[in-house]
Amino acid sequence: MQTIILPGGLRVTRIVMGSNFESDPSSYRLLDQYLAGGGCCFDTARLYADGRSEENLGAWMKLRGNRQEVVISTKGCHPPVTNMRHSRLSGADILGDLDASLTALRTDYIDLYWLHRDDPALPVGPIMDTLNGAVRAGKIRALGASNWTAARIREANEYAARAGLSGFVASQIQWSLAGSDRKRCGDATLVVMNEEEYDWYRQNQFPVFAFTPMAHGYFQKKAAGQPLSEKLAGRFESAENEARLERLRQLAARKGAPIGTAALSYLLHRRLPGAVVAGARTPGQLAESIAADSFPLTPEECDWLERG
């Protein structure tokens, strides 16, 4: 599987496995399949299943004895789900969540640690100071920002550069071929890829880890004639996405691949470095995601999928 090297030298595979499984040994076959398929990076979060997702990944690594083979990507400092405007970026919040993740994952360090949400009202200095204390302590190898705007990432990294500290090496935001925006998502704290964000990432060649890259199966469900839930339709149903689905069908048929594989490959060929965080519940879904790593697309074909 192809890899990218993040600023600072951390190497990750372009297909990252979303590992939001509760304490469920039956998920181990999927984790094994991903590792055997050449993947190395597993993405989870302190929020997921109240920590049981991290516990599940930690138990699997202990059973397999493979901690040195994998890259752990986990996130902390998510607000309470009942009050998404409640900031959780104090030093105590950051270090408390980090230590809880280390315990759950049964490891001494996190390879790539993300702040799950931002609070734009807070200065970046104390946040970066706290994170860098954890870097110096050997608890974190590299820092990431999840649901931070490009402007805030730039501000944080400029502060870090002035202070001789480590900055963010990647951004994790919602991005898929199926267009949407934060209003339609129903969560104003999400950051969704748009033209302004993309221009900054491309100009600076700043790595992006795309989450929800399959738009919760929007294209697959539409192509199969399955009914969409009210929530899914509200987030992604539009004339623009209907047109993109038709072009996606044509391209996938021409290249002999599932449309899910083609949709993920689109994100891997958008003229900037990065990865896709792909979840899977069956071996077939995971194989479809892994295949995107070697699915050939040109930038021109990506433009055509997006705009026609």
Q: What is this structure's pTM?
A: 0.95
Measure Cα distances from 250 to 189, 242, 243 in Å: 35, 13, 11
Give me 256's structure tokens. 């002999």
Q: pLDDT digit string (tens) for 251-262?
A: 999 999 999 999
Q: pLDDT digit string (tens) for 197-237?
A: 999 999 999 999 999 999 999 999 999 999 999 999 999 99
CA-to-CA distance for 209 and 73, rounded, in angstroms? 11
Q: What is the mean pLDDT of residues 277-292?
A: 95
pLDDT at res. 256: 94
> What is the residue-wise DSSP string for 19-48?
----S-GGGHHHHHHHHHTT--EEE--SSG
Determine the residue type at 57. L
Three-point CA angle 59, 62, 67, nearest 5°: 115
Q: Sketch out the chain's domains with CATH numbers.
A: 3-307 (3.20.20.100)
pLDDT at res. 187: 86
CB 67 within 8 A of CB 35: no
Q: pLDDT digit string (tens) for 111-127?
A: 999 999 999 999 999 99
Confidence band for 128, pLDDT divided at 50, 70 and 90: very high
Q: pLDDT digit string (tens) for 285-307?
A: 999 999 999 999 999 999 999 99
pLDDT exceeds 90 at position 185: no
Mean pLDDT taken over the chain? 96
pLDDT at res. 186: 79
**224 in helix, strand or coil?**
coil
Candidate from 18-27, 97-106, 154-163, 275-284 with smallest mean pLDDT: 18-27
Q: pLDDT digit string (tens) for 29-84?
A: 999 999 999 999 999 999 999 999 999 999 999 999 999 999 999 999 999 989 98
Confidence band for 22, pLDDT divided at 50, 70 and 90: confident
Give me 161's structure tokens. 């550069």
For residue 45, the tally of other CB atoms under 10 A from its CB is: 24
Measure Cα distances from 200 to 82, 153, 272, 285, 295 in Å: 32, 11, 10, 32, 26
